[in-house]
Homo-oligomer: A and B are copies of this chain.
Amino acid sequence: MIEPLVLKGFRDSLPGEEIPKKKIQRKLEDVFESYGFVPIDTPVLEYENVLLGKGGGETDKQIFHFEDNGGRKVAMRFDLTVPFARFLALHHDELAIPFKRYHIAKAFRGENPQKGRYREFIQCDFDIVGCDNAASDFEILSIMNSSFLAMGIKNVQFHVAHRGLFNDFLSSIGIEEKSVDVLRCVDKLRKIGKNEVKKLLVDITGNEEKSESILKYITSGDGHQFDETLDILSKLIGKETESLFRMRQIYSLLLQAGIADKFIYDASITRGLDYYTGIVYETFLTDIESIGSVCSGGRYNNLASLYTKENLPGVGASIGLDRLMAALIELKSPLVSDTSNADILIFPKPDETQKALKAAMDLRKMGIRTDVYLLPEKKMKAQYDYAAKNRIRHSLTFFDSSYIVKNLETRDSVTVDSLEEVASLCR
């Protein structure tokens, strides 16, 4: 006998989890499609050097990699961004540009599992590649907003910033050469708080006044609306810059769309990753901010440059479905609590199985998702246990030529004469 173990950091998805996961995925796909976005897929396994790029080193231990039977060094994808860059380099001639794509798929990391983090997880990415303008930046923000609306999440706030604007500011106070260290430090604001960030900034800049100025910059959005913050930043920088103009354009589009109140300019958002070059953003659920950002991304203007000389500017965002699921559970969303795949369950007596299978066929034709309990010889307790585990709301039993429909929550029964009436009781 072999022990039926699952690897550390991996897990099975049982129906109670998989049903809502599929529902969420469909809702997201419907949103992407309403914007004309198209799906792609890439292999789980790729050449190791393709996935790691010039990198290697530390990342190595984080990814699943091995030598295949043909002696090739291969690795399992650890995100959907790198495979997308490779995909763009390989196929850009075949694609409609601007290329608006989404990709929902599993990725794998060998890191030590932490609370809520697994070695296998589902990413959901959407990007526009082939243009660098406010309209494409806006469209991604608009999809983010539509996605959370589609999931019934109203209390959401999008924190937006611009990498270029931060650089404009650092230039204005004469420390642009320290931007990498400063950005990395500022990124920690949420975690370590103002005082600690201030200390670190003094270490980096060696200047109390400049550190105070940076702190003022990154907290400039506090309590202000998006456009007010832009005015404050303009004054801090001392002039209107290209990045500022882009942000004003984006804000005007958000305003026109009637969704500006969900966006704030939060200059402390820098995103750790090197490849971002313009707008960056994170998404917080105001009822459970502690869960962290549930949707992040930004503009990158050189993503595929490792693989091609083609200039492919892009902007996009990524939703971690596992974290989103956790959030929806905490918010007690109906999306995750309604985990039934059947509207009604027929309980036949042992000699009624054939009749039950026929009634099921007829109900399905009327659009009613119908399950038949296939062990009619079992005791009632087993039957009701089956209904409860599958969270099915109605049961159907036969009585002569009548049908008894029972609401399994309220325990109320109704006797009707036709399957049409049964169907309408389930709707």
A binding-site residues for B, Cβ under 8 Å:
1-8, 10-15, 18-19, 21-22, 26, 29, 32-47, 49-50, 53, 61, 64, 66-70, 72, 74, 76, 86-87, 89-91, 94-98, 100-101, 106, 108, 110, 119-120, 128, 130-131, 133, 135-136, 138-139, 142, 146, 252-253, 256-257, 306-309, 341-342, 345, 353-354, 357-358, 360-361, 364, 369-375, 385-386, 389-390, 392
Contact = CB atoms under 8 A, between A and B. Distances in A.
Interface of A is mostly: mixed
Given A43-B120, A64-B68, 12 more contacts: A2-B307, A4-B308, A7-B74, A35-B360, A35-B364, A36-B345, A39-B341, A45-B108, A61-B69, A135-B353, A135-B372, A257-B357
A15 B36 CA distance: 12
A2 B53 contact: yes
B4 A18 contact: no
Contacts of A306: 1-2
B8 A133 contact: no
B386 A97 contact: yes
A3 B32 CA distance: 30
A46 B358 contact: no
B38 A374 contact: no
Given A18-B41, A257-B358, A389 B95 contact: yes
Contact of A43 (B12, B138, B308, B345): B12
A345 B61 CA distance: 46
29 contacts: A1-B309, A4-B87, A6-B46, A7-B46, A7-B72, A7-B74, A8-B70, A10-B46, A12-B87, A12-B91, A14-B40, A18-B41, A19-B38, A33-B369, A34-B364, A35-B370, A36-B369, A36-B370, A36-B371, A39-B341, A44-B120, A68-B110, A131-B375, A133-B353, A133-B374, A135-B353, A139-B374, A256-B357, A257-B357
Contacts of A110: 68-69
Contacts of A49: 2
A340 to B, nearest CB: 9
Contact of A374 (B33, B64, B90, B136): B136
Given A5-B47, A106-B44, A357 B39 contact: no
Contacts of A69: 61, 110
Contacts of A369: 33-36
B43 A7 contact: yes
B50 A5 contact: yes
Of A36, A61, A253, A389, the most chain B CB neighbours within 10 A belong to: A36
A62 B94 CA distance: 33
Contacts of A35: 360, 364, 369-371
A239 to B, nearest CB: 25
Contacts of A89: 4
